[in-house]
Each structure stands twice: as structure tokens, then as C-alpha cells.
Structure 1
Amino acid sequence: MNLRPLFLILLALSLSVSASAQTVTASAPAVPKASSASIAPSQRQAADVLIGSIYTAASFNQLIDQFLDAQLKTHQEIKPYEPEMRAFLTKYMGFEVIRPALAEAYAQKFTEAELRELTKFYQSPVGKKMAALLPEMMQTGGEIGQRLVKEHLPELQEAIAAKTSGTK
């Protein structure tokens, strides 16, 4: 079996999960990156509380399941490996595995006061709704992106063909 599709799927999944985790920061202005050493323990704790307010293990792992299910529909050749893929993804990309690194990333981008303000939002009724709908909204966004790329793929193919024919 050609394992290239499997590796591409795992790479896409890691990017997808990373993108969903960064939804909160997507429109924020650039902030100088703090070094890990300069982050106070209370700031790390505030970031961890925020992560716990945004995600639950079930909702975070739902992102993985949705992505993997979509890939299995597209790449039938990997179907026999579904149990191994799910076990691998749960082991290395499950919420409890990723949570400390996510907290660190948020602590590097936000001040402790900002983290506490974000936590207040995610603990509010609308924030809880946002967190609950995040996996569904990420899936919807992915589907929209896939549809748009598919609709305009001939344009990319033409551009690649033009460049390829021009370099021969």
C-alpha cells in the first residue's frame, strides 16, 4: 500500500487541529512572542484554565473524529487502518496530550489579564455556546474551503501547466 496518502492525512489533521485551536487568536494583532522562560506560572495557569473553558476532551477529540471520518470517505484505501489511525491520533493528538502545549501557546500570545478576560467570555452563556459549536463550525469551514478549492482547481492546474510548459 502506498502510505503517502496516510501521511498527508495525518499532516492535514495536525494542521486542522492546530487551526481550530488558534481560532481565538486568528484576528488578533501580532504580539511579540514571549519566551517560555518569561512566562509566569500564574500566566501558564490562566492559559490552562482558558483551554479548559474552550475545550473539553470530548469536543476536542470530536475534531479529530470528524476529520478522520471525512478522510476515510475520501481515501477508501486507508479504511482497513482506521482502528490503528484512531488509536495513534488519540495517543498523540488527544486533548490531554495537546493541552499543555496549547496552554503554553496561549500564554505566549496573551497577557495574564487577557487570558482571564477570554476565560470570562468562554464561561459566559455565549462563550459556552461558541465552545460547544466550535467543532461543527470548524467542520463547516473545512467543507466550504474544500468546495471552493474543488470549484477553482482547474485554475490552479492551468497555472501549474503554464509554468511547467514555460520552464521546459
Structure 2
Amino acid sequence: MKFIQICTLALLLASTQITLADTESEKEAAKLMDAVGMQSALEQSMQQMLDVQINNNPSLSPFRSVMKEFFSKYMSYESLKPDIIRIYADAFTAQELTDIREFYGSKTGQKAIKLMPQLMRQGGEIGAKRVQAHIGELESMIKAEAERLKKEAK
């Protein structure tokens, strides 16, 4: 009987430590989100996503305000914040999140935050150019695979 009580107490203490650790990680993740300007980044991203959608399909232009309202409802920082904090808290310890936040608080970290969107865009452009330069090869590969699947189905 005493063994069961000790085991139960040990489990309760362990789960309390896990909860406290999670809470600390969540607090640090929230601080990190503030330090990197996640709210501003998401708002800019949402605006860019909306612009891309409308540029790709101009017939959506009259619905810009409706789409913006929808994205604001489901893609805003406030609506995503708990989930974002959770994924960071799950991925990093409280100390690791503190370390990351301290880096982004540094001069180099601030430069990284400022340049990251531009660097990501440039990387995307490189990828798009690479695919475009070799699109014929992809089309040939797709055609060959379609023919193979068609023969296999017979």
C-alpha cells in the first residue's frame, strides 16, 4: 500500500514539473514572439498573401474586403498566437527560447529579422527560375509517368 502511495506521489510530482516546464516554455515562447515582431510579420504576410491571390485572380478584386476579413479572423496573430506559442514551447526548452530571444535582441539578430523576408523571397525566386529553366524536363517526366501508370492499369 505504501509503495502505491509513493508511486502516486512520484507521478504527481513529475506531472507538476512537466506542467511547470511547459508553462515556462510558453512564457518564453510568448516573449520570443514579441521580440521577433511576430504580429507585424504575420500581418505583412497576410497582406502579401491577399495581394498574391488577387494578382493571380483579378476577378477576386471586388472581394478584397471580404477576403481580408476572413484572413483577419483565421490568420491574425491573435487567432494563431496560442498555437504558435505551443509549437515553439514543444520544440524548445525555456532556456533555449531565452537564448533565441537574446540572439534576436542583439544587433545581428535584428539584422537577421530585417533581412529574412528579403532573403526568403530571393531564395524563392531562385527556385522558381530553376524550375522554369527545366520545366520541359518536368513535363517529360510527368508524361512518361502518366504513360507508365496507364500501361500498369491495363
Scaled to the shorter chain, the TM-score interval is: 0.7 to 0.9
1:29-55 Cα deviation digits (max 9, x unpaired):
xxxxxxx96852111101111111112
Q: Aligned in 2, Cα 1:121/1:105: closer, same or farther, shift over 3 Å?
A: same
For 1:147 and 1:71, how far apart are their aligned partners in 2? 20
**Which position in structure 1 is the counterpart of 2:56?**
74
**Which position in structure 1 is the counterpart of 2:118?**
136
Local SS of the residue matching 1:40: helix
Stretches of structure 2 that go unaligned for 5 or more consecutive residues are 1-17
**Which position in structure 2 is the counterpart of 1:42?**
24
For 1:83 and 1:38, how far apart are their aligned partners in 2? 43
RMSD after superposition: 2.2
**Which position in structure 1 is the counterpart of 2:10?**
none
For 2:119 and 2:45, how far apart are their aligned partners in 1? 10
For 1:58 and 1:119, how far apart are their aligned partners in 2? 17
- The aligned amino acid for 1:112 is A
**Which position in structure 1 is the counterpart of 2:74?**
92
Are the counterparts in 2 of residues 43 and 112 from structure 1 also a CA contact under 8 Å?
A: yes
Q: Aligned in 2, Cα 1:76/1:92: closer, same or farther, shift over 3 Å?
A: same
State how 1:101-120 maps to structure 2 within 5 Å. Answer: 101-120=83-102
Q: Aligned in 2, Cα 1:66/1:145: closer, same or farther, shift over 3 Å?
A: farther
TM-score with structure 2 length normalisation?
Answer: 0.74
TM-score with structure 1 length normalisation?
Answer: 0.68
Aligned-residue identity in percent: 31
1:72-94 Cα deviation digits (max 9, x unpaired):
22222322322222221122111
Are the counterparts in 2 of residues 39 and 107 from structure 1 also a CA contact under 8 Å?
A: no
Q: Aligned in 2, Cα 1:97/1:72: closer, same or farther, shift over 3 Å?
A: same
Stretches of structure 1 that go unaligned for 5 or more consecutive residues are 1-35
**Which position in structure 1 is the counterpart of 2:129?**
147
- The aligned amino acid for 1:95 is Y
Aligned residue pairs, count: 133
CA radius of gyration, larger in: 2
2:35 to 24, 29, 53: 53
For 2:120 and 2:134, how far apart are their aligned partners in 1? 21
Are the counterparts in 2 of residues 47 and 106 from structure 1 also a CA contact under 8 Å?
A: yes
